[in-house]
Structure 1
Amino acid sequence: MESNHELSVPQPRNIRKRVRKRRGRGLLYSFIVLLGLSSGFAVWFFGMESGSTLRYMMADTLITTQHRSWARYLIGDEELNRRVADYDKRFNEMAEIKDQNNIDLTHSRDKEVEVEQIEGKNFKGHILYVHDPKMIRVVTTGIVGQGEQILSMVQRTGAIAGVNGGAFDDPNWDGNGFKPAGVVMSGGKLLYSDGGMEDPVNVVGIDRNGLMVAGRYKPSELIKMGVNEAVTFQPKFIVNGKGLIRNAADGWGIAPRTSMAQKQDGTIMFVVIDGRQPGYSIGATLYDVQNLLLERGAVTAANLDGGSSSVLVKDNQVVNKPSSSYGMRYLPTAFLVFSQPEKVAVKNIWENIDMEHFNSSYKPFASQ
């Protein structure tokens, strides 16, 4: 039997209205969920201990990069300035702890140079082992007015291997790499100092007997101590076989790292950790590096320039993966390893140049 009632068919206008309502409700629900999650994250990130730990770790990481000022958005200007000042104070205190120099340099040494691959939770890297510390020399850039890449230094001098060295004037983290910070010593000669002979400065180096030297010294003291090779950086973080960094939160953030250490038998270890490369290696804290070195018997250890400067070269090949998207940086100094170090002549590239007024932002070569 047929019905006399016609079937009701929704009009297109009504359909569009219902779709808009459902869409609007969906967007409103998504917004409410997102707002709730954002609020919960903010409470955790800024108000809870675990969130604050991550926040300060992120801030410390930024402090070690060219984007140091960005850390203010995480911890504020006042806390940023306080944290930087606190690090400087603590690093100087660590530098003053005296070494007992419990290193055996009496027995003969082989000339072998080895590389070990290392890996941690968030990082990958390498350790360069130099069993004879006297094979190591500080070499400087060979280009007047410009830093030099470590690979170029190795190839130019015929070195077996090398890593990046000390601090340098680096305006906006984009400098030309020519002007060191602190001191530079090579072959027992003081090639550079931006202070007076009686002004203490943090150094990392090796004396004439092959003993690693790290800490805060006057240039006049370094000469009297018979220091042969030295650059400026900090902190010294292993002294007399004991680590000075208390935990990961005190490890100066996560970043690419280069550090130098010495074992009881005199072997020098250079650690180079890659970073800032998600999916491969994020980087390491100094606490991570400290643990790596203590596990391998380090008696003394100190930090060298890291970040995008971290490079390890052996047999004329770059072993690690530098973090800079522009390739290896141009640097003033490097620790290089030679089969005949006594035959290496390192000239004073800064002699007769007014370094006090040198423009570290100027790049004389377009390719740089």
Structure 2
Amino acid sequence: MQSLPPRSTRTSSHAASGGTPKTAAPQRSGKTVRRKKSFLWRLYKFVFVTGCLSILLFAIWFYLTPWGNTYRYMLADSLITTQHREWAKYIIGEKALRERVAGYVKQFEEMGEERDTHTIPEEEEGSGTGEQAPEELTSVKEVDGEGFHGYLLTVRDPKKVRLVVPNKTGRGERVSSMVKRTGAIAGVNAGGFADPNWRGNGFKPIGLVISQGKVYYNGLGSTKSVQIVGIDKDGKMLAGKYSLKELMELGISEAVSFSPRIIVNGKGLIPNRSQGWGVAPRTVMGQREDGAILFLLIDGRQPGYSIGATLYDAQEILLENGAVIAANLDGGSSTVLVQEGGEIVNKPSSSSGERYLPTAFLVFEHPETVDVPNIWEGLKPSDIDAGKW
């Protein structure tokens, strides 16, 4: 009879049944854990110190160097043109913000003082009846610059441009709707309007609105003169500071109030990009020596596509394209270029889509057949609530 093996050498019932004996899990070395924690701490300190140093260097560049100051004030100017104007005080200070805005108002007024003397050729009888096919009335080309993309609409006959207003009382109208409703070939946004909290209904214009030689809206109050952008009955573009009496004597046909004028008598009025009133979406109107009207529209506030342009950028593009006079129209989220049928060409920056506006410059083959009713007739500016929809 064989004796049983010692207890320590007996096989457990689990092992005998084919299982694997349990073994103790290896424990992580305390030294390895400490080494890992030390590495993470050093990495954290490196990132923190590097970040602080980067912020310090950026602040020194941003506030203490000429180039940084140029960029800082350009950024502030860009904010001034938006609904977040007050944010600019965190960049340049509240006092500097007030001084900056007041400075631009004064500068824009001065830019409208010089009298424009440009002339356009008189229309020759029988023009366009020769064997050569006449040019298209309108053409659109894309323009690009440093950080921006836009479009240049050329209207070869200035007398084909008409200022159009909404057809319903109480709110503005989208330019695409105006173009579609009237059968226009093309259209762009025109004058500014009262816009409380950037939620205005687009029905209360700023300054003057003149269509077909008639005053549709007069918001001048006691002001004797105002900056306007428009076209007279002969197709000559007018821009600058005028009284209503002067405009009537000059034979104004279509006009809105806006500023500044940036080109007069063939020369640019903005000396450099740093004085171009920040980067923003732009709508600018100009005229060539041959009479053709130029509408420049620059998209903006859309990183990766187009940030926007300064007025200096717009000025240089128009000079390159032969403009002898040019003036700023309402821009920002109002900037829009529409083609026949109501198709929007550009990319408006408004988060809520195309805005409701009080005025638009539209192009027609036969503008004399277009009826533009005066929806402000009998209304005083004080009668209109700009924020009520």
TM over 0.5: yes
C-alpha deviation, 1:326, in angstroms: 1.3
C-alpha deviation, 1:121, in angstroms: 2.2
Aligned-residue identity in percent: 52
1:132 aligns with 2:157: yes
TM (norm. structure 1) is 0.93
For residues 215-244 of structure 1, give each alpha carbon's deviation from its aligned partner in whole angstroms, at most 9, with x where no partner exists: 011112211211000001101110111000
C-alpha deviation, 1:145, in angstroms: 0.7
Match of 1:347 among 373, 377, 386: 373
SS of aligned partner of 1:144: coil
1:43 aligns with 2:60: yes
**8 A Cα contact 2:153 2:296, kept in partner:** yes
For residues 12-55 of structure 1, give each alpha carbon's deviation from its aligned partner in whole angstroms, at most 9, with x where no partner exists: 44443332232222211211111111101001001111111111
1:25 aligns with 2:59: no
Partner AA of 1:89 in structure 2: K
SS of aligned partner of 1:21: helix
**8 A Cα contact 2:185 2:340, kept in partner:** yes
CA RMSD of superposed structures (Å): 1.6
1:90 aligns with 2:107: yes
1:115 aligns with 2:140: yes
* Structure-to-structure mapping, 1:107-256, within 5 angstroms: 107=124, 108=127, 112-196=137-221, 199-256=224-281
Give, in whole Å, the separation in 2 of the partners of 1:345 and 1:112.
21
Match of 2:118 among 101, 111, 116: 101
TM (norm. structure 2) is 0.88
1:334 aligns with 2:334: no
Give, in whole Å, the separation in 2 of the partners of 1:105 and 1:77.
52
Give, in whole Å, the separation in 2 of the partners of 1:254 and 1:328.
20
**8 A Cα contact 1:105 1:266, kept in partner:** no
Give, in whole Å, the separation in 1 of the partners of 2:94 and 2:288.
41
Partner AA of 2:362 in structure 1: L
Match of 2:328 among 299, 303, 311: 303
Q: Which runs of 5+ in 1 are unaligned?
A: 1-8, 364-368
C-alpha deviation, 1:197, in angstroms: 7.9
**8 A Cα contact 1:105 1:211, kept in partner:** no
For residues 122-151 of structure 1, give each alpha carbon's deviation from its aligned partner in whole angstroms, at most 9, with x where no partner exists: 111111111110100100011211111000
Give, in whole Å, the separation in 1 of the partners of 2:208 and 2:180.
25
Equivalent residue for 1:292? 317
Give, in whole Å, the separation in 2 of the partners of 1:343 and 1:86.
44
Give, in whole Å, the separation in 2 of the partners of 1:196 and 1:105.
36
Partner AA of 2:70 in structure 1: T
Larger Cα-atom Rg: 2
C-alpha deviation, 1:357, in angstroms: 4.1
C-alpha deviation, 1:10, in angstroms: 8.3
For residues 131-177 of structure 1, give each alpha carbon's deviation from its aligned partner in whole angstroms, at most 9, with x where no partner exists: 11010010001121111100000011111110000010011222111
**8 A Cα contact 2:210 2:256, kept in partner:** yes
Partner AA of 1:54 in structure 2: Y
Q: Which runs of 5+ in 2 are unaligned?
A: 1-25, 129-133
For residues 34-79 of structure 1, give each alpha carbon's deviation from its aligned partner in whole angstroms, at most 9, with x where no partner exists: 1111101001001111111111110111111111111111101111
Partner AA of 1:142 in structure 2: N
Give, in whole Å, the separation in 2 of the partners of 1:269 and 1:145.
31
Equivalent residue for 2:3? none
Equivalent residue for 2:8? none
For residues 293-323 of structure 1, give each alpha carbon's deviation from its aligned partner in whole angstroms, at most 9, with x where no partner exists: 1111111000000111011111221111111
C-alpha deviation, 1:11, in angstroms: 5.7
For residues 272-298 of structure 1, give each alpha carbon's deviation from its aligned partner in whole angstroms, at most 9, with x where no partner exists: 111111111111111111111111111
C-alpha deviation, 1:105, in angstroms: 3.1
For residues 163-195 of structure 1, give each alpha carbon's deviation from its aligned partner in whole angstroms, at most 9, with x where no partner exists: 000010011222111100000000000000112
Equivalent residue for 2:382? 356
Q: 1:19 to 1:197 in 2, by over 3 A?
A: closer
Give, in whole Å, the separation in 2 of the partners of 1:200 and 1:322.
32
Equivalent residue for 1:325? 351
| Deviation >6 Å, runs of 4+ | none
